[in-house]
Amino acid sequence: MRAGRREMGPETVVSEAATGGAPRADVRTPIERMFVRLHEPDRFADQGVLPSSARLRWPIERRTIGREELAMCHMIRAEGGGPLRSFSGGLAHETGWHHSRKADRMLGWEGETAYELIIAAESDHAVKRIEAESVAFESVLDGIPFHYTIDAELVMADGTITFVEVKRTEADLRDERLREVLAFVREACRRCGIRFLIVFRGGIWADRHHRRNAHLVARHAFVPIDAEHRLAIRRHFEEAEGATTRGALAAALAPGRPVLGRALVDACMIERLVRIDLTGRRLGDATEVHLP
């Protein structure tokens, strides 16, 4: 029998030896599973150190810092919370800017995956604020200094902060040094009560409808919402006894102007005035709309 392989799912490869042909299962663990699901490499993790936001300290002059208080790394923010770096477009891959309602500023993105993440966060009711390229980390790892900048910062409705590194596929994490830096940063974040996630392009959208609907909603992000619209939303839900549809709410917000009405509903969703499930089916007039 000629030596060969046959695939047995995404993680197991069976090899057939030339002498006898007995299959031997070789379990291969993708980098995504290794790093994200099994939290490896884990040599920086110390579960005995409980998360505490008190570890985020401003520099204090004329104060002696004890050995046990030595910083694991330095976290750097731009003044005003904006991006630490910007893009002129002179790179080999895609770069651009997105005007975000939740950030109330232009967000720079590097790579199409980062752009998709911003669009997904803009339409996610659980996300209250978005920043891009807003935080950097500096430290020394194995005797070599490093400087690392996150791709996105998400402030959730419950107040938790999530830093996100976006990658196209797990192949982008093959570099051992990069994996070590990300693991180091993740542990530093954990100790300060900040979530750190690596998000692959395939994990951004729940399905094809989710992506299409999110991009549709994002186009209407800056439709003006005034006090009358807010009052109309409250009245409409009272009359509808808490259950309505996108088409019905659109008619209540802009009577006789369905296109404007739908755009207003989408803008209200990004503003977190209403909540809509964008997954599972195309967004339409029959889509259910709920109060937050």
pLDDT at residue 88, rounded to an integer = 55
127, amino acid identity = V
pLDDT at residue 86, rounded to an integer = 62
Q: Is 0.95 topped by the overall pTM?
A: no
Mean pLDDT by 10 residues, the chain (292 residues): 36 38 43 42 71 65 47 80 66 78 90 94 95 91 92 94 93 92 92 92 94 96 96 96 94 97 97 96 96 90
Cα 190 to Cα 110: distance, rounded to the nearest angstrom:
25
- Site of tokens 């909603």: 217
- Site of tokens 């002059």: 61
Neighbouring-strand partners of residue 108: 97
Cα 283 to Cα 292: distance, rounded to the nearest angstrom:
18
pLDDT at residue 89, rounded to an integer = 55
Which residue, 138, 190, 136, 192, is CA-closest to 165? 136
pLDDT at residue 91, rounded to an integer = 56
Instruction: Report the half-sphere exposure of 179 (CA within 13 A, side-chain side).
Output: 18
pLDDT at residue 82, rounded to an integer = 73
